[in-house]
A and B are shown apart, each in its own frame.
Chain A
Amino acid sequence: MNFNQLVTESVEEYNALFEGDTPIILVGSATCGKSAGAQEISITFKAELEKQGEIAKVIDVGCIGLCYLEPVVTVIKKGMPAIFYDEVTPKLAKKIVKTYIMGNDPMPEHALGSFGEKQIEGIPELFNIPVMKPQVRRILRNCGFIDPENIKHYIAVGGYTGLNRALQIEPGEVIEKIKLSGLRGRGGAGFPTWMKWQFCIDSDEDEKYLICNADEGDPGAFMNRSLLESDPHSVLEGIVIAAYTIGAKEGYIYCRAEYPLALDRLKHAISEMREQGFLGEDILGTGFNFNIKIKEGAGAFVCGEETALIASIEGKRGMPRTRPPFPTTYGLWGKPTVINNVETMASVSLIMQGGHNQFIKYGTEESKGTKTFSLVGNVRNTGLIEVPLGTTLRQVIDEIGGGIINNGKFKAVQIGGPSGGCLPESFLDTKIDYDSLTMAGAIMGSGGLVVMDQTSCMVDVARYFLEFIQNESCGKCVPCRLGTKQMLDILTDITQGKGKSEDMDLLLELAEGIKDGSLCGLGQTSPNPVLTTIKFFKEEYDTHINEKKCPALLCKELIDYQVIVEKCEGCMLCLKSCPVGAVSGIKKELHSIDKEKCIKCGTCIELCSGKYNAIERVSKY
């Protein structure tokens, strides 16, 4: 079967499914959906439908990004727009079958939004609800809408036309198109993708390799995982296009072992590709041969760094080495190698499918296109988002994120992971693009946005990142290995009320040394979270050091728990739950906490809050 026939067949199958008489139930079953109970929902639907005689079909799909509303279920019925239901419980699932599938009431009171031509009274359009409105879905266009385990779904929505197009033209022309799109790498540093490919082409070795970096070691970031779980073929298509362009015959996907579902779906997708002739010998009859191997990461953040990643694939410790030579001239097994991020690969498919002109419709002069982010932390609407580059942090946090949870106050946003920084309120109007963020002292990184409110202590956050770096340093360079340890010790002291007046200068001095003296990006950028917190939240450091107080009331050594006399009703919840017996009191009378005994575990406050709110944290000194 040639490609056009395959497309026709796929479209027919897809349309028959989605426009047929049998209603379709799509269950968001990415990792976030699953952890919120999607599997149970899927089973409930299937059991219910079995009783009724297969009156609808259930398909597990990926994630539309509204993780905070999971499990999300979409119902598609002939002549109706698709309807999205959020926070679906088994009970609601049964009700959906009865009331909407069997009956005709779409239950607007349970619906989140609709998608499609017709409008239903009482149900807003999905892409018009506040969390969706500022977003532009390009990379994520298929997520939650197609079956990630059915290659024909992907083909039916335009998939693999990009590869088909690429294979008809010369590699040089592909480079030209990618250049015109202005695509910059989505893995962190933002290096122009076409240029990296060109360097690799220019090296005169015959054997070349392509590696897709799906390590996603940044804590707080999960964009790559979601994409791989929801639309693996969009990444795989980009990989084959890239391989063709640089002339690689073999490629690797380096994916972390902590992502079992992504790995499963990738493996499945690869076998489907092979069956359909998108992989292996003579791809699409063009004579181009290419194979992909999956390598599972073994849990080392530094392996996201290119040279360490290569070492790891070769079976060694993931130790970075000095660059140059860059991997594009001396990479895997010493051969020229291109390493690109998951989202970069998906962008390549997008550009080759739709043309560079539609890609540059969004973004800024220097940062083209859209970018996915994981919006997490203390915002209301946490999830996976996609916005045009150049959108401001404020738009993302206030409009899409819906502001801070519990009516709290914004304190900082952490962007760029351990290599990035924490930006304060005064930077909320900063545009999210490569250059604006760098100017603000942060970096784009892979796309984790962790929002923090008044309950986060910025000294603790800096300490947290240093602890992470300490654990993850490969240990090759002295400044990275010992310098960060020194920094961690100082920060730990400060959070424990043992800070000294000269500590700040020492931290700054160490930061300079570590930046200059480290070999790889991990060490070089590791002081960033410390530097930005000192720059923007110096008073918090001062308060810790001079007054031995933690303004966020987070640092254990500097706080106590106590009962608020006026509020305590004597319900005994705290007394019963305290693991060390630090609470005393009798029923219906005021309770009290023995500060000597209390280990500050937080159990009592969790149980009391909401109902009486009679326990508070106070400064010890």
Chain B
Amino acid sequence: MSKILNKILSKYSGDKSDLIPILQDIQSNLGYLSEEAIIAVSKFAGIPESEIYGVATFYTQFRFTPVGKKHVMVCKGTACHVKGAPQIIEGIERHLDIKEGEVTFDMEYSLESVGCLGCCALAPCAMVNEDVESNLTLKDVKKIFSRMKRESKNNDCN
């Protein structure tokens, strides 16, 4: 078992009600729930793997595959829908050449939709990692991604 997993699990008592927080903790550290992680949690908390999968698949937050370096979550809430979210999502899909729920080939970007980001007054919105981008237009989609590309290039040089 990896060190990180060990470290995460050592914070919990193994009580059944810790299951979701443990999974959340693992995901925020590793980016997704790997098979190894599920097995480790199962042993740690004494909950069958099947039950853990049963819980984890119920909640939209949990993923079983890695996400990209930049995880894009487009809001599909009512306000965003009314203000054109479907077009924005399609625009991003075209731009990244992936569908909702997928990751780009180079693992740079992943795309998902979310119920509501709570920034409805500035709809349509999307969240890139922890930053919310609001009042999106199709033009912005291009701008945001070329900006991110520049930024990640700069970071790579450092």
Contact = CB atoms under 8 A, between A and B. Distances in A.
A464 B60 CA distance: 18
Given A377-B82, A579-B94, A602 B138 contact: yes
Given A298-B20, A456-B82, A374 B60 contact: no
Contact of A606 (B21, B82, B139): B139
Nearest to B132: A35
Interface stretch (B64-72, B101-109, B117-125, B150-158): B117-125
Interface stretch (A115-123, A214-222, A233-241, A273-281): A214-222
9 contacts: A32-B134, A36-B134, A70-B122, A295-B21, A314-B16, A382-B123, A450-B78, A450-B79, A603-B138
A257 B78 contact: no
Given A221-B116, A376-B123, A607-B139, A601 B79 contact: no
Contacts of B24: 257, 296, 298
B90 A316 contact: no
A618 B114 CA distance: 31
A319 to B, nearest CB: 8
A315 B16 contact: yes
Contacts of A216: 116, 118
A193 to B, nearest CB: 24
B36 interface: no
A456 B123 CA distance: 15
Interface of B: 15-21, 23-24, 54-55, 58-62, 76-84, 87, 90-91, 94, 114-123, 125, 127, 130-134, 137-139
A414 B122 contact: no
A31 B122 CA distance: 10
A213 to B, nearest CB: 15
Given A298-B20, A376-B123, A602-B138, A450 B118 contact: no
B18 A315 contact: yes
Interface residues of A, number: 63
A300 B58 contact: yes
Contact of A383 (B18, B20, B121): B121
A342 interface: no
A315 B20 contact: yes
Contact of B122 (A36, A258, A472, A601): A36
Interface string A93-104: 000000000000
The CB with the most chain A CB atoms within 10 A, among B79, B125, B134, is that of B79
Contacts of B118: 31, 216, 222, 225-226, 258-259
Nearest to A312: B20
Contact of A601 (B18, B125, B138): B138
Given A296-B20, A603-B138, 8 more contacts: A31-B118, A36-B134, A67-B122, A222-B118, A317-B54, A319-B58, A374-B79, A468-B115
A398 B134 CA distance: 24
Interface in A306-329: 312-319
A378 interface: yes
A433 to B, nearest CB: 22
Contacts of A316: 55
B59 A32 contact: no
B21 A32 contact: no
A219 B17 contact: no
Interface in A406-454: 414, 417, 448, 450, 452
A313 B59 CA distance: 13
A376 B138 contact: no
A318 B24 CA distance: 15
Interface string A239-275: 0000000000000000001111000000000000000
A377 B16 CA distance: 42
A314 B83 contact: no
A558 to B, nearest CB: 15
